[in-house]
């Protein structure tokens, strides 16, 4: 089913209001990656059980694999079926053109990140691209997120240790955050405080004192990318400080793959893989999402609760 322009604008306006509410009430949206329909179902079931508002997000890889209009339809169908409050985020959109396509498709949240396709993009190039997306998004009211430099890591399972001496060089600063927000007009600033993409052999360590300084320096929403592999107490403190959105991907993918591998091993005579996914994999991913919702203090925060 396709959304009318009126519905898209209404959804975007509601999403904006809800982000403000999250900050004021000290909870955060979990932004969970959508790899396929079983992942989406796992997220929706968790949201339904906890009466929690959620975002599902896709990067360019999922857009290429599934199709941007199909993603919108999948989410809207699940939203209707499970009766959950759910919005769509285009995560790490690598170009202005790709971001505009997401806006036209009715996505409520757009993350423009040209540093994904060009790690050496200058801050001025990033600002110019972000500003263009912010202006384009005014047509539907979609919220725009960005950051002034490349965000390290990947959504895979990493075997190397975390080199915090190197990572600290790319930490956000209060002054840098303020200047970037003022120069772009973004709705959400993606802060770098020790969070990085992927799942690592050791837990991540977040600089919450720095987060407090950034929160005091800017008046827009704050998100944390690379939430996987982070001890839950950091999230509980971060939402109290004023984080409104936390991205989770690798923890879900790890649960999906390891559960699927074990299930296939234990069921060598079952060739209907979809049955095994429904019985074993979806519940495993759902458990990950449930635990994150608890950490984000978003239980019973849905509009229909």
Q: Which residues are catalytic?
A: 91
**Half-sphere exposure of residue 182: CA atoms within 13 angstroms, side-chain side:** 8
The torsion angle over the Cα atoms of residues 124, 99, 145 and 235, rounded to 10 degrees, is -130
Q: Which of 23, 2, 1, 21 is nearest to 13 (CA)?
A: 21
Q: How many angstroms separate the CA atoms of 86 and 303, rounded?
A: 10
Element (H, E) at 224: strand 221-224
Q: What is the DSSP letter of 277?
A: I
The Cα 303–Cα 282 span in angstroms is: 25
CB within 8 Å of 36: residues ≥ 6 apart: 66
The alpha carbon of residue 200 and the mean position of all alpha carbons in its chain are separated, in whole angstroms, by 19
- Report yes or no: 26 and 297 within 8 Å, Cβ to Cβ: yes
Sign of CA dihedral 49, 51, 57, 62: positive
Cα–Cα distance measured from residue 223 to residue 31, given in angstroms and rounded to the nearest whole number:
10
Q: How far apart are the first and last CA of the chain?
A: 25
The per-residue DSSP string of 9-22 comes to HHHHHHHHHHHHHH
């Amino acid at each position: 089913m396709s959304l009318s322009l009126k519905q898209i604008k209404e959804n975007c306006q509601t999403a904006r209001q809800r982000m403000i509410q999250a900050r004021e009430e000290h909870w955060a949206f979990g932004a969970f990656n959508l790899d396929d329909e079983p992942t989406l179902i796992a997220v929706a079931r968790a949201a339904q059980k906890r009466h929690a508002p959620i975002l599902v997000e896709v990067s360019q890889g999922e857009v290429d694999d599934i199709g941007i209009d199909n993603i919108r339809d999948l989410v809207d169908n699940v939203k209707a079926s499970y009766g959950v409050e759910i919005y769509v985020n285009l995560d790490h959109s690598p170009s202005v053109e790709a971001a505009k396509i997401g806006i036209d498709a009715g996505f409520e949240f757009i993350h423009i990140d040209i540093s994904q396709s060009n790690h050496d993009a200058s801050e001025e190039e990033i600002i110019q691209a972000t500003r263009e997306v912010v202006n384009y998004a005014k047509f539907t009211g979609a919220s725009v997120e960005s950051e002034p430099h490349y965000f390290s890591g990947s959504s895979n399972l990493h075997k190397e240790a975390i080199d915090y001496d190197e990572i600290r060089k790319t930490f956000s600063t209060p002054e840098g955050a303020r200047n970037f927000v003022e120069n772009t007009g973004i709705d959400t600033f993606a802060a770098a405080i020790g969070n990085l993409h992927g799942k690592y052999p050791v837990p991540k360590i977040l600089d919450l004192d720095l987060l407090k300084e950034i929160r005091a320096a800017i008046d827009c929403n704050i998100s944390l990318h690379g939430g996987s592999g982070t001890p839950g107490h950091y999230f509980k403190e971060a939402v109290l400080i004023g984080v409104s959105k936390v991205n989770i991907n690798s923890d879900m993918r790890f649960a999906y793959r390891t559960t699927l591998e074990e299930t296939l091993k234990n069921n060598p005579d079952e060739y209907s893989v979809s049955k095994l996914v429904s019985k074993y994999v979806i519940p495993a991913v759902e458990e990950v999402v449930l635990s994150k919702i608890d950490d984000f203090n978003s239980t019973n925060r849905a509009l229909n609760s």
